[in-house]
Amino acid sequence: MWDLMTRTAGGCKKLTLFVVGDRSGNPTTRQIGAVDVSTGTREWKRSIGISNPFYQPSLCIVNGVIYCRTGPLYALNLTDGSTRWSYPLGTSDANLEPVSDGSTVYFVLNDSVRALDAESGELRWRVDLPGVASRPTLTDGTLYVGLENGLAALDSTTGNERFRVTISDSGTVSTSPIIAGGTVYLAADQTLYALTAQ
């Protein structure tokens, strides 16, 4: 897994590649590091713990912080990879990456959606949502979450449910919702649905 971003250092823009790999030789850890794309120089590297060796960690990078879900959910400093905080996830049954608006980190865990304070890692709210099938999509203060047979929209500040749509009694959502131009797009059972964002 890798992510590519432009950041400013010493007044100059530089392109940095962030990589998560499996070179540690230990099935309970992964290596994560940053590489300067222009020179190939490794800026930093460190090990992070994982709960399931079959999961491929995903990165969410916002406001100088890397949020990496590997077993615990880690918040790492962008500049050197040091840990700001970590949140235990137990035996998570899904490999779904977090999303963040810079002040709050959102993720799905065991049929629930949770929101953590981005600075401290403290739990802000939790909403049990049976049938969660995708990572949340965040836009304009609303979290859109794909369910096994539809979609739920939650207030990102409180977690209160704003609305829910059922698309089929047997449909299975296969991707995270995509929002564009006031329309929510959702794929289920090889069918693309276009829903009005209420």
Averages of pLDDT over runs of 10 residues in the chain (198 residues) are: 43 52 61 79 80 69 86 87 89 70 92 94 95 87 89 94 80 77 79 76
Question: Which architecture, in CATH terms, is 128-198?
Answer: Beta Barrel (2.40)
Q: What 3-state class would DSSP assign to 42?
A: strand
Give the model's pLDDT for residue 4. 46
C-alpha 193, offset from chain centre: 23
Residue located via tokens 């449909």: 171
8 A C-beta contact, residue 20 and residue 29: no
- Fold that domain 1-97 belongs to in CATH: Thrombin, subunit H (2.40.10)
pTM over 0.85? The answer is: no
Give the model's pLDDT for residue 173. 73
Fold agreement between 1-97 and 128-198: yes
- Angle ∠(60,61,65) on CA atoms, nearest 5: 120
Give the model's pLDDT for residue 12. 38
8 A C-beta contact, residue 136 and residue 144: yes
Residues 6+ apart with CB under 8 A from 76: 32, 46, 48, 65, 66, 67, 68, 82, 83, 84
Give the model's pLDDT for residue 192. 80
Give the model's pLDDT for residue 17. 63
Give me the residue spans of the domains in the chain: 1-97, 128-198
